[in-house]
Each structure stands twice: as C-alpha cells, then as structure tokens.
Structure 1
Amino acid sequence: MGSSTTLLVLLFVLGNGVAVTMGRFLRTEVEVIEEDLDEELFLVKESKLVANTSAGKMVVFYDRRVPERLQIATTTMEPRSLMIHRFLAATNVMYVVSGEANLGYIDQNNQRLTQIRLREGDVYQIPAGSAFYIANEESDQKLEIISGIEPSQGLGDDVFQSFYIGGRANSGLSGFKKEILEAAFNVSQEELGTFFTGQKMGVIVPLQGSHATGKWSKFLELKEEEKLQQLREMVQQGQENEEVEKEDEESGDDEEEQQQTSLPWRMLFKSVFGEEIKNTREKITEDPPRSYNLNKRKPDFENKYGWRVAVDGSQYHPLKSSGIGIYHEYLSAGSMMAPRVNPMATEYGIVVNGSGRVQVLFPNGSNAMDTNITKGDVFFIPSNFPYCEIAHKGESLELLGFTTSAQRNRPVVLVGARSVVRTMEGPELATSFGVSKEEIKHLVSAQHESVILPTP
C-alpha cells in the first residue's frame, strides 16, 4: 500500500475516532458533501462595514452558523485619527498589527480612566461593558488592529452592537428626546444643538483640520484626572437630575415623563461608571492590566519551515475572564502545518500576509473544505475537525487567530515526528490498518520533522 494512500486511510480512522460536537454540521453538510462539495464551507464571507471615513475603516466578519461564535474585526486608522468614545457590550481582545495606539477606557474594577500605549505586537483585552476610545496620534504611520470579539447574546444580532457616546449619526445619546437630554445634561436646548451637530464624520474622525474635531484633540491633551473629571461631571449632572425627578415624582408631576428621563441615564451610568463615583484624587490600589506583546514571546514551536506562538489565560491573566485565546503562526514558502485537530475549541484565522491553502475534514473523515486563502481572508475550524494549512510554493503564509478557549489549549498533532501516530506506533496500530509491524513502523517513522513540515 502506498504511503499517500495509507496516510489518507489513517486520517479517516483518526477522524472517525474523534467525538462529534457539531452535529448540526454533520447532519446538514455531510449529506450534501458527497454530491456537491462546498470548497469554501468554512470561509467567513459575511461582513459588515462598521466605519468608513477618510480617517479610517472598520470591518466586522461574522458567521451565524457557528455555535461558539466569535467575530473578527479589522480596523485601519490613518495618522492623527480617533475612534470616538464608545460603549461595547462585548469582550474585545485586540492585537496591534502595525503602528501605535493610545487606548483609554473606564476600568470596571476601580472606576478610573485607564490609559495605555499599545505598540506593534501588543495584545490587550477590553472587558465587556467598558467605555473606551482609540487614538492614533502618530503623524506619519497608520494603525492596524485585528480584534477577536465575543458578542453578548442579549439581542441576538449578527454583529455586536456599539453604543457611541460621541458623534452625530452614530451617537447613542442623540436619539433621546430634547427634553430628556436637557434635563440629563442640565443645559439649554441651544447648547445641546451645538454638542450633537458638531461631529458629522462618523465613527473614526481626524484629530486635526476642522473645528468639529478640535474638541477631541483637546480632550486627548487633558491629563488623566481632567479627562475623567469631564466624564464624571456628566454623571454628577445626571445624579442631580435624578434627585429633582424624585421630588417631582413625589409631587405627582408628569410621572411617566420623569421615568423616561431618568431610566436610560441611570442604566448607562450604572453600567459604565458603577454605582458610586469615586473622588478623582482617591488613591488607586489596583493597577490596570498591562498589555502582552506577542511578538516578543518565544514561539511555542519553531524550525526552519516556520513557527507558531499561542497565548492563553495562563500567560495573560485577563484572557481568563473572556474565554478567548490568541495565536500567531508563520509558514515559509511551500511549508505546511501538520494535520491536527483541536478537541477543545473552535479556531478562527485571518490571513495577515501571503497566501496558501487550508483543508478541513469532517470528523468522519470526509472532505469538508479544500480552498485557497489570501490576505484578508477569514476562516474558522470547528472543534474536533481535522485540518491543515499549506503555504503556496512561491509565497509565505502568516496567520493571526483567536480560539474560543482561554485554557491551556493546543491542537493535537496527528502526523509527524511528534504526533499521535508516532506515539501510538505498535502492533495494535498495525492491526488496525491490516499491515505488518514493519510496514507501520516505516510509515510513521518516515517523517523526521515535527508540527511544521516541508511539502513534497
């Protein structure tokens, strides 16, 4: 029996021995696969353009078929630009592909404005329920970010929902009735008109060049305490208005309207800023988490054909709360990742550079997908589905990815010098293939490389 035929049979046997966790795929897709193979079954083709201005662009990729779903977002920001303040009801694990970012968000533990500088290769998690902004203050360098986002399950929307604090058309505040905003901010209608019509560009705006964006530049120039004080003044105004509303409610004046006024703001303030607003000079006893630089981490595996590095909650503590892991891998031209399977998590990958090919099998061993991938393509691998990636002969392949588990989670390598078949080599394995001990020993010992292999 030829080695290629034996390897195929081996993959079928291993595939049949894997527990099936995605029965829906097996019931619906395997029946079709024999007659009409979908060569792009696990490519993520659905996307939404969340932001597109002269200052930057953000695209979200999603797939409604995946039970353990993540959404992959790619963000590009021009020099001197800002992604305006937003409230995101989803965990956001960010990776800086290139450039540098100034990130500011309200830390949920100590209710202060946390500011951190992120550089190329940095990983940072923004917890669900945080208000934040991202600024690219560099004058000559674009900022590129890839994010793995775990959306909340509340509304069942295809794409995560963002509540933008600033901006005009996108602001989550501007839709309130004028009388509600007047009471909440404690300012006149004329003042509110200027506030909510000044920014016309959208989600990503320039930091220079117009009066409309000047307030953002000024905000970023403030010291940390001054920034937080501005936000807290809004909160304080809301609290004072609630006291007035309570008095009015007790007198029975316009009770229904007063409830409409206070409820949205009370929910917002409690969600973003917490039940109590602490003094800005209060000593902070708990430091915010630092970023984790993936580029400086020694690869988990490396040889002359490529490398792979993965980070989970044991290396970067904030990931424990999200249940998201992250990995980065590089294959030199013509090399391949050995066939493997992830029994614990669904994996998502996006091609950062280069091009190649990815093949995925159903757990029963039949071919699920075999397709070419190039820069910008997003795909996912369901747990317990064997797969491998191959770089094209004339070009390397670089992938960044996220997994739905933050535990110590490594794919199980099926073939190679350090693999399942090498460990299982013996008379039992020979019997399962119906070959001699000599033949099985030759087959499983022929490959001297591990994890990342040369292609013929």
Structure 2
Amino acid sequence: MAIPEGEEDNLFLMHKPKRMVKTDAGEMLVLKTQSGCRRFLDRHMHIAFITMQPNSLFVPHYLDSNLIIFIHKGEANLGFIYDDELVERRLKAGDVYVIPSGSAFYFVNMEEGQRLHIICSIDPSTSLGLDTFHSFYIGGGANSHSLFSEFGPAILETAFNESRMEVESIFYKELDGPIMYMDDSHAPSLGTKFLQLKKEEKEQQLNKMLQDQEEEKEEKKQTSSPWEKLLNNVFGKVNEKTESKNSVYWSKATNLYDKKSDFRNDYGWSKALDGVQYSPLTKPDTGLFYVYLKAGSMLGPHVNPRASEYTIVLKGCGELHIVYPNGSKAISIEIKQGDVFVVPKSFPLCQIASRDEPLEFFGFSTSAKEHKPLFLAGSVSILRTMLGPQLAAALGVSVDTLRRALDPQDELLIFPSTWSEPP
C-alpha cells in the first residue's frame, strides 16, 4: 500500500479533531488515527479531550466502547454504575479510572474558577462500528433530548406506571446539551439538582421521596413510583449504604502523578502503569505512561515490542523520530504542546526535548502487560548485550572498534545531548 505523496511526515500524527460535543459549558474533541497508519497497528484507539467549565455537568450517558479517563487538570465528581450500584468518587489531577463499555456514568465539575481537563482513550473495537463509537445520553443528549423521549409517551407511561403529564414533564424538556451548567442562573432540572447533592444528601432525599411515594401508593394503590424506578434503573440503588467488594474494587482510582518513577536519572524520568499495578486496566487491555525530559535531553532510540503507543504532548516542544521496519525514515518532525501521535509496536523511535524547555508527554499503550522496551542505545542496549564477532561482522567493523564505540555511554534510556549545553 503506497503512502500518498506529501503525507509521509504526518502519517503518524493524529490531527483534524472532530468536535463531538460543543456547548457553553464545555466541549469534547476526538482524534482518530489516519487510515494509512492503521495497517501498522495491532489495535487502534481514539483519543478524546473533554473540557468542562466550573459548575458544569456532563450528563449521565453510556458508551458502546471501553473508556479510560485521565484527569489532566482540575477535579471531578464521577458517578458510575457497577453491578447495579451507583458508586461516586472524587477524582483529582493525575487520577486514572476505567469505565467499561455499557456502564452509565456522569462527570461534575464543582470547582469554582477551575476548568476540568480530561484525556481519554476510547477503544472502538468493542463498539457497534469498528471505526467509531456511540454515546447514549440518558439526559440532554446531542439532540437536546434524552434517549427516553424517543420511545413515545405511551411506552413511558407503561414503563414508569405514571401519568402522561408526569412523564412529559421529566423526559420531554428542552435541555442545554450533553455538557450543561448546574448553577441557578441556568435553571437546572430536578435530575440535575439531585446529582449536585452529596451522597449522604442523595440518600436522605431519595429516602424521603420514596417514603412520600409509599404514602401516595397507599392512597392511589399504585404498585411503584416513577422516581423509584427511574433512579433504580438508571442510576442504581443509591439508597443502599453498603457496596459490594466487587464494586468497591472497580470504583478505586489510581494516581499517575503520585506513582513513583520506574526510571530516573539527572536528565529526566519515566513511569508506566500496567494491569498488574492497576487491575481494572486488564479488561480493556490498555496501559499508560508518563515521561519527563529536561531541556535538551533525549529519550534514546528504543522499541516497544508489545504494544502501539498513543502519545499526547502535555508541555514543551522538541523532536520526534520514528523508523520503518526496513530502516527508512517514517517521521522526523518537531512536536509541541497539544500534538498527538501514534507509534506502532516494534517501530524504533526517540524523542528529544528542545534546548529551551523540558518536554513532558503522556499516553496510552495497547497492552496492559508490563512495559518492557528494548533499548537500542545506552548501558543495557541490545548492542551491548549482543556485542561479539557476529554483531561486529554484521556492522562491518572489528569487535574492538565496536566496543570503543559503545563503551562511552554509561547512561540508560534518557541521555544528555550536545545541544543542551550553553553555546
């Protein structure tokens, strides 16, 4: 398959973001791998960026794809259904969380004056279409209606055992879209106000509502209330104070910022998160990594033989170099904050921080197994390990000449560079 002329240098870049959600309260952008690049990938992902204004809600919904979230900046309240229970967690910057396909959830940014920035990986292999994913909004979706409203009043009357007037007052209102403000000036709905409450307040409010409904049932001889059915079916049994071990296990987040570095020297550090360290990553079979390079430092030539990597430049600028299996150049470009690129597994690469500022990047890999890169240079490189007459003959030099060339580099993985020194 030939690469179109002029696309060689950006084949591995993920650009041209698609705006999936856009409201006054926030937006969601999604990046996809280019079609020409997918032939090199073991599995392709979408990378999503969610930005939410203070006092905003990303309405309850579910995806047909596995979702891994990373809180880049800010704090979020996450409501998440697992095993028919609503689990709520406060997530801070650096937290990682896994939301399995088909699980309903919502985000709330309750911080004053602080935007919430979330980076997500979306695995379309579990979705209805291999090249995309679908969101199913329980309230305020893309067409400003919940998915319930499309069933029609007669169906909802029967489903919730409630009058048409009551059903229409809940499910047929014009809303502000998937991301909406929650303050009084934007007149939140009853469901939105309910989500604003703390968990204990939710329990009290729901118990009161259920108690009122029980009294009303005796009067009207109704079998059940619409709110009880709605909240139990959509948000889970929030009035239960106990959580199963399974739901508690799945509800735990882990913090990548707080994790100890797997490697560190005078020129930078790196850390990785796999399924052994954080078991929820095992099901979507996805890992995460974070790298910091000091100004002028280089993450030396290396290979990830187990997984492709999707990388987001968080800070700084520098250079990216990737090599094809036949030894020809795949890409050699300058990278900057906000750039997103993908590196297929087994493709050699290196990243270099600019001389003026550090380079910081984060990403997802397509395997939850322990991250074991092969180093092509450095104190434990494959060249040093294979040093002998066979390797020397392959390179057309003597063993002594090759040893003299390899011995000076005592560093591992992250190296200082000649251009990091002042002129």
Q: Common fold, TM-score beyond 0.5? A: yes
Amino acid at match of 1:390: I
Moved more, 119-128 or 219-228: 219-228
Write the distance in 2 (CA, Å) between the matches of 1:303 and 1:141. 34
Quickly say closer, same or farther: Cα 1:369–1:184, change in 2 above 3 A: same
Per-residue CA distance 1:138-164 (angstroms, 9 max, x = gap): 112111111112124442253321111
Q: 2:304 aligns with which of 342, 349, 352?
A: 342
Q: Give me the whole-angstrom Cα distance separating, in 1, the residues matched to 2:71 and 2:237.
A: 32
Query: Is 1:142 aligned to residue 101 of structure 2?
Result: no
What's 1:105 paired with?
80
Counterpart check, 1:301 vs 2:263: yes
Q: Is the 8 A contact 2:322 2:350 kept in 1?
A: yes
Q: Is the 8 A contact 1:46 1:63 kept in 2?
A: no
Task: Verify: 1:39 aligned to 2:3, yes or no.
Answer: no
TM-score normalised by the chain length of structure 2:
0.84
Q: State, as a whole percentage, how many aligned pairs show the same letter.
A: 41
Structure 2 match to 1:53 = 23
Distance 1:227 1:158 in 2: 44
Q: Is the 8 A contact 1:306 1:452 kept in 2?
A: yes
* Code of the aligned partner of 2:140: G
1:214 deviates by 4.5
| Structure-2 residue corresponding to 1:256 | none
Counterpart CA distance in 2 for 1:393 and 1:386 is 23
List per-residue Cα deviations over 1:278-309 (Å, max 9, x = no partner): 79447434124421111111111111211110
Look up the match of 1:75: 50
| Distance (Å, rounded) in 2 between the aligned partners of 1:198 and 1:279 | 25
Which of the numbers 132, 135, 141 marks the counterpart of 1:159? 132
Is 1:412 the counterpart of 2:374 in the alignment?
A: yes
Runs of 4+ in 1 over 2 A off after TM superposition: 64-67, 151-155, 170-200, 209-212, 217-220, 222-230, 277-285
One-letter amino acid matched to 1:425: L
What's the counterpart of residue 313 of structure 2?
351
Are 2:408 and 1:446 equivalent residues in the alignment? yes
Corresponding residue number in structure 1 for 2:181: 206
What's the RMSD between the two structures over aligned residues?
A: 2.7
Shift in CA distance, 314/227, structure 1 to aligned 2, threshold 3 Å:
farther
Residue 243 of structure 2 corresponds to 284
- Bigger drift between 355-364 and 419-428 goes to 419-428
Q: 1:90 aligns with which of 65, 74, 96?
A: 65
Residues 338-358 of structure 1 show CA distances to partners (whole Å, capped at 9, x for unaligned) of: 111111111000111111221
Secondary structure in 2 matching 1:175? helix
- How many equivalent pairs are there? 386
In the alignment, is residue 389 of structure 1 matched against residue 351 of structure 2? yes
Aligned match of 1:375: 337
> What is residue 16 of structure 1 aligned with on the other side?
none
Distance 1:213 1:72 in 2: 30
- Letter paired with 1:296: D
Check the 8 A contact 1:199/1:212 in 2, yes or no: no
Measured in 1, the distance between the counterparts of 2:352 and 2:132 equals: 30
CA displacement 1:108-154 (0-9 Å, x = unmatched)? 3xx21001111111111112221000111111211111111212444
The one-letter code sitting in structure 2 at the alignment partner of 1:149 is I
Cα displacement (A) at 1:422:
1.7
SS of the residue 2:2 aligns to: helix
Q: Which runs of 5+ in 1 are unaligned?
A: 1-26, 234-268
Maintained 8 Å contact 2:65/2:126: no
